[in-house]
């Protein structure tokens, strides 16, 4: 029985899937880090008193949130032919752009949720508006961003499965490569789901604990 299991697709597909899940995590983490920077700038831009910054930020958020990430990655990879973007770069940019739009709303909502008295207190002790944001408002807002940022990680992680359409070697693409030659589709896809669950379930548990600890 053990020998049969070791000789099954559940085990034989592991090297392919392990290679894919590493790239999946790489795309997700790098894309989200860049997306957070973009989202923070855009989120604060939506709160800006300068109309042009607020307008550009709003258009970006609405366009990206209003279109599917699959269309976005196809546009980046096939549409920007003059730039000659590779598969991996296109995938990271797609995660960055897509997650950045949602993170912008997370940032905007978190900053907006801080009581106006905090802003007034900062100004009362002689801080500039920028210093008040940096030292008083932002630290409080960031705590409130942590749970939704964790949820965005899970969403972006699953979104990477769409990048198989441009031959990015993430876990689903590697699974297809394996079962296209072995025809062991069911077993291979079961292992793909297990890989995803081994990441998303612990992440969800950690997020719930962090949320309770931060009391947000």
What the block records as the tokens of 162 is 């769409």
pLDDT band at 125 (very low <50, low <70, confident <90, very high): confident
The domain tally of the chain equals: 1
**pLDDT (tens digit per residue) in 95-107:** 999 999 999 999 9
What the block records as the tokens of 159 is 């979104």
How much is the mean pLDDT over the chain? Answer: 89
pLDDT at 144 over 90: no
Q: What is the mean pLDDT of residues 184-189?
A: 91
pLDDT band at 48 (very low <50, low <70, confident <90, very high): confident
Rounded CA-CA distance 164/174 in Å is: 9
Rounded CA-CA distance 34/172 in Å is: 23
pLDDT at 6 over 70: no
Domain residues for 117?
Answer: 2-214
Residue 4's pLDDT is what?
A: 60
What's the distance, Cα to Cα, between the start and end of the chain in Å? 50
Residue 215's pLDDT is what?
A: 67
**pLDDT (tens digit per residue) in 146-158:** 889 999 999 999 9
Q: What is the CATH number of the domain that holds 125?
A: 1.10.3720.10
String of DSSP letters for 70-120: HHHHHIIIII-TTTT--HHHHHHHHHHHHHHHHHHHHHHHHHHHS-HHHHH
Share of the chain above pLDDT 70, in %: 94
């Amino acid at each position: 029985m053990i020998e049969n299991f070791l000789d099954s697709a559940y085990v034989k597909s592991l090297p392919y899937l392990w290679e894919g899940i590493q790239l999946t995590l790489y795309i997700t983490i790098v894309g989200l880090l860049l997306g957070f920077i973009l989202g923070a700038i855009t989120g604060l831009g939506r709160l800006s008193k300068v109309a042009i910054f607020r307008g550009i930020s709003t258009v970006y958020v609405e366009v990206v949130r209003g279109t599917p990430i699959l269309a976005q990655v196809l546009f980046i990879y096939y549409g920007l032919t003059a730039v000659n973007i590779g598969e991996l770069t296109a995938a990271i940019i797609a995660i960055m752009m897509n997650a950045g739009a949602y993170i912008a709303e997370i940032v905007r909502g978190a900053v907006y949720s801080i009581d106006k008295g905090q802003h007034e207190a900062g100004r009362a002790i002689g801080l500039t508006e920028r210093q008040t944001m940096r030292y008083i408002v932002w630290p409080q807002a960031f705590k409130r961003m942590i749970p939704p940022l964790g949820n965005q990680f899970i969403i972006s992680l699953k979104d990477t499965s769409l990048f198989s359409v441009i031959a990015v070697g993430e876990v689903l693409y590697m699974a297809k490569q394996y079962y296209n030659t072995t025809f062991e589709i069911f077993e291979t896809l079961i292992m793909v789901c297990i890989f995803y669950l081994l990441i998303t379930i612990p992440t969800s548990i950690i997020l719930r604990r962090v949320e309770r600890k931060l009391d947000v």
